Amino acid sequence: MLNADEVKAWRRRWQALEEHRAEEERAADVELLWRRLNAARALGVWLGLAQRDAGESGVFVRWAQLKDKASQG
């Protein structure tokens, strides 16, 4: 079991790591951001979540479908 000083040190290390990660995220170039966006889109297509109808009614229908899938799974 960790004592209070060890827990504080552990939290400081994780906070420093998170600050570093956040700084890297802010400094990310446009190409990296586009690659991440494209990867997320490709995952959505692969999972069958991609939808061509961007109209308002299509959005409501899609959310209903996703809600049904989530309640079944």
- The single residue listed with the structure tokens 């996703």 is 66
Closest CA to 11 of 19, 44, 27: 19
Name the domain count of the chain. 1
- Provide the residue range defining the domain that includes 21: 4-72
The per-residue b/e assignment along 27-65, b for 16 or more CB within 10 angstroms, e otherwise, is: eeeeeeeeeeeeeeeeeeeeeeeeeeeeeeeeeeeeeee
DSSP assigned state of 27: H
pTM of the model: 0.40
50 in Cβ contact with 41 (< 8 Å): yes
Per-residue pLDDT of the chain (73 residues; tens, 9 = 90+): 879 989 899 999 999 999 999 888 888 888 888 898 999 989 988 988 876 666 778 788 888 988 998 888 6
